[in-house]
Amino acid sequence: MTNTHFWILQKVLKRASRASLEQVKTYRILGETYGQYNSIENWDCHDGEGREIPWYTYPAIEYLDSFDLNGVRVLEYGSGNSSIYYLNAGAEVTSVENDKGWFDKISASLADKPHFTYFFEREEAQYVERDEIRNADIVVIDGRYRNACARFVREQFQQKRIDPTMIVFDNSDRHPDCIALLDEATGWNRCDFNGFGPINSYTWTTSAYLNPSRQLPRKKPLAPIGGLGILSADDS
């Protein structure tokens, strides 16, 4: 959304209530600062500064942004701008894709990227049962065969073959059976990040399971997009 759009809105609401004017500010943070307007217009996942971001909810993306992912090994079920996001954060990424057209598109865009391994697997078993999961620090379930992926993760936990720092499951609000499987498998705290995200005009949930015995280092203090900044110690 351009400054002209916001100027027109503010002009229309000039004589409106204070609450209406404050709502325009909220709209601007979501549309411009987060970049949702352009993501809807272009049907692509970028933030307000044009950087590639995952198709997760904005609260989940901000949470991931707080961690130092340099050298972290990521296994993604599914691929896209999330793959670029993790790579740009310094992670070593392995992604598995089921859609050939999408696989070809992402392959072309990431052809020169180091630390990226990409597999096209049409069949469920080859897609889901990845040996790479045993070395993964972060496992992302955001593609096809989600129930099978969740069952495979549970099986790997039961056999004590994996010990990731985090499991990310997108659209968890729409997959309660998968979440129940992962709850049972891990016994970890689950953080549910509800809210808006790129492209969509509705809210959804991205969930993260956190390993209590392995923690990723933080790289920056809390700084919410559109927030008021940090108070000094004297003002606390």
- 28: its two tokens: 């601007």
Can you give the pLDDT at residue 23? Answer: 83
**What does DSSP assign to residue 120?**
E
What fold, for 58-210? Rossmann fold (3.40.50)
Domain ranges across the chain = 3-33, 58-210
Scan for tokens 């509800």, then name that residue.
194
Can you give the pLDDT at residue 222? Answer: 81
At 191-228, the pLDDT tens digits run 999 999 999 999 999 999 999 999 999 998 888 999 98
Roughly how many angstroms between the first and final C-alpha of the chain, as a whole number? 36
At 10-41, the pLDDT tens digits run 666 666 677 777 888 889 999 999 999 999 99
CB atoms inside a 10 Å sphere around CB 84: 21
At 103-152, the pLDDT tens digits run 999 999 998 889 999 999 999 999 999 999 999 999 999 999 999 999 99
